A and B are shown apart, each in its own frame.
Chain A
């Protein structure tokens, strides 16, 4: 018994040490989160394979166009009516949670998108499984953090661990998982984040390798020899990939707006999109599903359709993806970007070879890879993710130099045309994206209510200036709120530096009331206003303090000095200094 209690005590002591160290606990949890999210990714991957094989046998029938419609419709019913979760790509929700709410995500998100994307993609919708596994992994991380009552900062890292484990598992690509998480989800490189996320990525990959074998996602027999001509030609890929990335982004948004304006029930809209994809798929089956098979063919150089058909396939895949996702199907943009990118590279290579037959270019598989990196880099505006993804899923560094050029330049050009990746665009438009390290992000953790300084003596509006001067003699306030005597309703502010001429005019003292010399137009703020907005108002108006008014009652003042002091303290907390 004694031994037993000593053992428990020792375990408790060790747990307390781990618990007290921010890093140790997160590192300990990272492996668990990575493995769980890796498992979720494998489950989705296997189910999609099974469904794809099943529907392959009936795709030649004329009625097969209805399969994606039914699948997308069931997907919407499951998300909106069974789980009451709104559809979406998933990644923006994760970024929003990290950016605004310390990484809090609903538990239902850990499985909802897996099921719904299975229905959408498995039935032939044009979308990718990556975004659904990202939100599933992130939600697992968030809820594991909640279960162990971890701090906000630790929770955000575990959300990243979930995303990293999922991406690493689905592509068998640990570095891509790590880079994607840091570049897209968290938006900042910090030693505190990177180590646990790397561990989670390894755990996710290992789970995938244990259950599916250590296979390179797009293993091929090609030997790419890249010379200076290919590097020069890669600048053309940058141009084409930029144009296609921007078009794809706009097409997705446009289709989404059209669908929203269509007066149809929520479960019918995805069916409309799905049916349209099914009709396209009757003639061009390669636009359906995530398109991994076609990508492999392009890399291997065994993609048989000619240059015109490749061009048609680019347009068809873009439209099919926009129809699937814009009309309410569930899935992500990652895999379609890879496929469209591959087609873009292939089309470019064939067009260039046709125009300049003597050009000693590498084979078209190499350009398919460059196109893939360009599209992923352009749509996600995440150049490193695009580079490492292509390198890891194809198993070689042979094309690394043009890959870096294409990915970096396409991301940059897309950023100038569309400031914000496809994932972040809506959040940016609504002013809800707060990148780490910015004023808005730091201030978002503070509220006006925390900073308001109460205890200001206020004066009734019908106070004579002479009476006010007597109050002033015994006060060190520079600002006096003015209220109605009977209702205490806030009327305005007396700013001492602005009434100085009246103070020294003896004749005026007995004639003027405070409400006649007060400032009527000083903007007021409420306790739930964003502090970034409060700071903006102060800057615009050239004021050092603003009155906080609720229900017409004066609450207190919020000053720039207090705000900046708290800002500095919050910055220290968030930077982990």
Chain B
């Protein structure tokens, strides 16, 4: 089955940067792109155990007449023929139901807040819920398109981090891009992480593909983020902990996304593992 990425298009310069990142991602992975050009400011996504209503800002409805032409023009640069998603069902007779049967979805850092917040690194609450509920990883774009030349996986030794590492290895395998690991050890030894990878059956692949492994123990987590290459696609597990833990200790993923301007692939707790 051909893999597909869902992209919600915004016909603005910022929207152009976003779709360029989706197109580059699709080109690298050989994934088809399905573009939704919104006709109303709200849409609904039904997951297995949750439904998410996304409230878009006004910029998503800018000049819809030229939207499809522009998407085709941008996609043609990458030799990709986009298809356009047309909602078939509607909640409350007016809210389009957007399918969740995709393999990836592109979300700008916020699709439910003002676009000005994107540069400041806020993940909108709806994007959080999509990440939590979806079977697919979410591609969170940066404000300006930059071709990524490597893949950096944030590995913290949790079950969700294993999943993220699997995705990182998968992407590295397909694209041939080098893989870097980043671990904030939080008082644990390197052996702990190696054992964990071995137990998950990932260590052999990691040894084959890994270019570098940055391990940090001392100092503030955010200070070490400078070691992540500026042109890397960051792969990180998201919301793998319980709600209480997240409220008490915060989410590493939220910290990374608010500090790092890189494009990110967020692997949620219900996300399927890559091929």
Binding site for B on A (CB under 8 A): 84-86, 88, 92-93, 96-97, 100-101, 104-106, 108, 146, 149, 152, 426, 430, 432, 447, 449, 452, 454, 527-528, 530, 550-553, 555-556
Tell me which residues across on chain B come within 8 A of A149, comparing CB atoms: 49
Residues of A within 8 A of B90 (CB): 430, 432
B101 in contact with A88 (CB, 8 Å): no
Residues of A within 8 A of B89 (CB): 100, 430, 432
Closest A residue to B55 by beta carbon equals: A84
Contact B1 A449 (CB under 8 A): yes
Residue numbers in A under 8 Å from B95 (CB-CB): 86
Cβ-defined contact, B46 with A101, below 8 A: yes
B: number of interface residues (CB 8 Å): 25
10 contacts between A and B (CB under 8 A): A84-B42, A84-B55, A85-B53, A86-B93, A96-B92, A104-B46, A106-B53, A430-B90, A527-B1, A556-B1
Contact of A84 among B32, B50, B53, B83 (CB under 8 A): B53
CB of B49 within 8 A of CB of A146, answer yes
CA distance A149 to B49 in the complex (A): 7
Q: How far is the CB of B94 from chain A (nearest CB, A)?
A: 4
Give Cα A550 to B103, complex, Å.
Answer: 14
List of B residues within 8 angstroms of A86 by Cβ: 42, 92-95
B189 on the A face (CB < 8 A): no
Task: Kindly state the separation between the CA atoms of A426 and B91 in the bound complex, as whole angstroms.
Answer: 11
In the complex, the 3 A-B pairs of residues with the closest C-beta atoms, listed nearest first:
A104-B51, A86-B94, A86-B92
CB distance from B268 to the nearest CB of A (A): 15
**Which residue of A is nearest B49, CB measured?**
A146
- Asked if A553 and B2 make an inter-chain contact with CB atoms under 8 angstroms apart, the answer reads yes
Which chain A residues lie closer than 8 Å to B51 at the CB level?
101, 104-106
Q: How far is the CA of A552 from the CA of B82 in the complex (A)?
A: 11
Whether A104 contacts B50 by the Cβ 8 Å rule is yes
C-alpha spacing A106/B45, complex, angstroms: 11
The CA of A553 and the CA of B83, in the complex, are separated in Å by 13
- Give the residues in chain B near A447, CB-CB below 8 Å: 101
**Is B258 part of the contact surface with A, judged by Cβ < 8 Å?**
no
CA distance in complex: A426, B42 (Å): 20
Given A104-B46, A104-B51, A430-B89, 10 more contacts at CB 8 Å? A84-B42, A84-B55, A85-B53, A88-B92, A97-B91, A106-B53, A146-B49, A430-B90, A449-B1, A551-B2
Chain A CB within 8 A of B81 CB: yes
**Could you say which residues of chain A place their CB within 8 Å of the CB of B68?**
none
A105 to B99, CA, bound (A): 16
Residues of A within 8 A of B99 (CB): 528
Are A426 and B49 also in contact (CB < 8 A) when A449-B101, A555-B1, A555-B2 are? no
| Chain B 65-98 interface residues, beta-carbon cutoff 8 Å to A | 81, 83, 88-95
**Chain B residue at minimum C-beta to C-beta distance from A106:** B53
Interface residues as binary, B233-271 with A (CB distance below 8 Å gives 1, 0 otherwise):
000000000000000000000000000000000000000
Cα separation A384 to B12 with both chains bound (whole Å) = 55
Closest CB in chain B relative to A143 CB, distance in Å: 10
Question: Do most interface residues of chain B lie in helix, strand or loop, or is the interface mixed?
Answer: loop
A85 adjacent to B93 (CB under 8 Å): no
Q: What is the CA–CA distance of A367 and B76 in the complex, to the nearest angstrom?
A: 72
Q: Which residues of B contact A96 (CB under 8 A)?
A: 91-92
What's the least CB distance linking A489 to chain B, in Å?
11
Q: Is the CB of B93 within 8 A of A92?
A: yes
- B83:A551 contact, CB within 8 angstroms: yes
Is there an interface contact between B1 and A528, defined as CB atoms closer than 8 Å? no
Residue-wise interface mask of B (38-58) relative to A, using a CB-CB cutoff of 8 A (1 in contact, 0 not): 000110001011110101000
Which A residue's beta carbon lies closest to that of B41? A84
Contact of A85 among B1, B48, B50, B92 (CB under 8 A): B92
Residue of A97, A146, A550 with most chain B CB atoms under a 10 A cut-off? A550
Q: Which B residues lie within 8 Å of A93 (CB)? A: 91-92
- Closest B residue by C-beta to A526: B83
**CB-nearest residue of chain A to B89:** A432
Q: Which residues of B contact A553 (CB under 8 A)?
A: 2
Q: How far is the CA of A454 from the CA of B91 in the complex (A)?
A: 33
Q: How far is the CA of A527 from the CA of B4 in the complex (A)?
A: 11
Q: How far is the CB of B48 from chain A (nearest CB, A)?
A: 8
- Whether A88 contacts B2 in the complex (CB less than 8 A), given A101-B46, A528-B101, A551-B83, comes out as no
Rounded to whole Å, the gap between the CB of A34 and the closest CB of chain B is 22
Instruction: Return B103 CB to nearest CB of chain A, in Å.
Output: 10
Check B92 against A454 for contact (C-beta < 8 Å): no
- Residues of chain B contacted by A92 (CB below 8 angstroms): 92-93
Which listed residue, B1, B42, B50, touches A454 by the CB 8 Å rule?
B1
Bound-complex Cα distance A512 to B220 (A): 73
A235 CB to nearest B CB, Å: 37
* Cα distance, A92 to B50, chains bound together (Å): 19
Residue on A nearest B83 in the bound complex, by CB: A551
Question: Would you give the shortest CB distance from B41 to chain A, in whole angstroms?
Answer: 8
Give the complex CA separation of A84 and B42 in angstroms. Answer: 8
A530 to B99, CA, bound (A): 12
* B81 cross-chain contacts in A, Cβ below 8 A: 551-552
Measured in the bound complex, the distance between the Cα atoms of B42 and A58 in whole Å is 39
User: Would you call A452 and B93 a contact (CB within 8 A)?
Assistant: no
List the A side residues contacting B91 at CB < 8 Å: 93, 96-97
| Chain B residue contacts of A454, Cβ below 8 A | 1
Q: A449 contacts which chain B residues (CB < 8 A)?
A: 1, 101
- Compute how far the CA of A84 lies from the CA of B54 in the bound complex, rounded to whole angstroms: 10
Name which residue of chain B comes closest to A89, CB basis.
B92
Give bound CA distance, A553 to B4, whole Å.
Answer: 13
B1-21 at interface with A (beta carbon < 8 Å): 1-2, 4
- In angstroms, Cα B42 to Cα A447, docked, is 25
Bound CA span A93–B50, Å: 16
Select from chain B the residue with minimum beta-carbon distance to A432. B89
Q: Quote the shortest CB–CB distance from B208 to chain A (angstroms).
A: 28
Residue of A nearest to B32 (CB): A551
Whether B93 contacts A430 by the Cβ 8 Å rule is yes
**C-alpha spacing A552/B90, complex, angstroms:** 28
List residues of chain B with CB within 8 A of the CB of A104: 46, 49-51
B-chain residues with CB within 8 Å of residue A555 when the two chains form the complex: 1-2
A104 to B95, CA, bound (A): 14
A432 to chain B, nearest CB (A): 6
Q: Which residues of B contact A100 (CB under 8 A)?
A: 89
A104 to B99, CA, bound (A): 15
User: Nearest chain-A residue to B88 (Cβ)?
Assistant: A530
A432 to B96, CA, bound (A): 13
Nearest chain B CB to A102's CB is how many angstroms away?
Answer: 8
In the complex, chain A residues whose CB is within 8 Å of the CB of B41: 84
B224 to chain A, nearest CB (A): 36
- Report chain B residues within 8 Å CB of A84: 41-42, 53, 55
Q: Whole-angstrom distance from the CB of A257 to the nearest CB of chain B?
A: 12
Residue of B nearest to A444 (CB): B89
Chain A residues near B42: list those with CB within 8 A.
Answer: 84, 86
B50: chain A residues within 8 A (beta carbon): 104, 146
Q: How far is the CB of A279 from chain B (nearest CB, A)?
A: 29
A261 to chain B, nearest CB (A): 15
Select the residue from B2, B46, B91, B94 with max chain A CB neighbours within 10 A. B91
